[in-house]
Amino acid sequence: MNHKPNALKKGDTVGVIAPASPPDPKKLETALLFLEELGLQVKLGKALKNQHGYLAGQDDERLADLHEMFKDQEVKAVLCACGGFGTGRIASSIDYSLLCKHPKIFWGYSDITFLHTAIHQNTGLVTFHGPMLSSDIGLEDVHPLTKASYQQLFQETAFTYTEKLSPLTVLVPGKAEGALVGGNLSLLSSTLGTPFEIDTRGKLLFIEDIDEEPYQIDRMLNQLKMAGKLSDAAGILVCDFHNCIPVKREKSLTLEQVLEDYIVSSGRPALRGFKIGHCSPSIAVPVGVHAAMDTAKKTVVIEAGVSGGAH
């Protein structure tokens, strides 16, 4: 059973944490001004400015920030400053019963994919795969649609992805519907064989990635295929694969050939070209809600990720 968090309203407080790598301080400052423009108050996690190698502090520090923000009655949403690396290190230590007791908006993408999968599968809470503060909103030139994605947190309205947002290509024709799950391909493949293994049965699976060569995408899609994750899915949304081009290998398959080998051969209805992931614009989607794809119409209708109930 899916549980939608309450929608935000102006004046609400949101918590900002870094459960993976530390954010760029200047870009984060810029992004916090954006949150204020939305009419939101901000609480910063204690470990937000910590650094431990490529991590934003020790595992227990990042974990404590996550727990504290969910526990804090004043905080209505938990927003991730950036991705990077490290969420898989804390997933097994999260108190999922605490998250069930205090359901609220959780927002991020990239390395945060591991937490989307872990939280949704352990609690049923709908979370948001959306553009992050320092790594997206903090940039000098932010696409209006990237900023507009944050409006999904305030509105209990369904969202339809059409070619008005980006050109879409049919890889496998057909209709499919189910809960929308997925995210970053590297992180999804890293869940396999763990207690947080992505469940794609009867679901719409969306995938994206950045800076991975075709042979690396090949390896990860092959792993998903052999684990039955592609054939289990009701349908597949191929999102942005930013800068996934051959660099080290002169003789390489193209990204298109790799996608053809795995996505087309899965036989599941599939569309490609969604501006979801490491791209501009970066469109947010709620994870765990019902979605319906029609390749003939080139549309995906996605339920609202929040409930309009008062809090």
| Residues annotated as catalytic (active site), given as ranges | 110, 208, 278
Q: What SS3 state is found at 182?
A: strand
Q: What SS3 state is found at 77?
A: strand
Residue 167 neighbours by CB distance under 10 Å: 9
Report the alpha-carbon distance of residue 87 to residue 78 in Å, rounded.
15
Q: What SS3 state is found at 188?
A: helix
Q: Where are the alpha helices (DSSP H) in 41-123?
A: 59-71, 87-90, 96-101, 113-123
Q: Cα dist. 126→198, 251, 257 in Å?
A: 15, 42, 34
Strand order across the beta sheet in which 270-274 lies: 159-161, 299-302, 290-294, 175-184, 204-210, 235-242, 270-274, 169-172
User: For residue 214, what are its two tokens?
Assistant: 């075709």
Going by C-alpha positions, the residue among 294, 198, 152, 304 that lies closest to residue 237 is: 294
Report the alpha-carbon distance of residue 279 to residue 241 in Å, rounded.
8
Bridge-based pairing of strands 290-294 and 175-184 is antiparallel
Going by C-alpha positions, the residue among 148, 110, 164 that lies closest to residue 284 is: 148
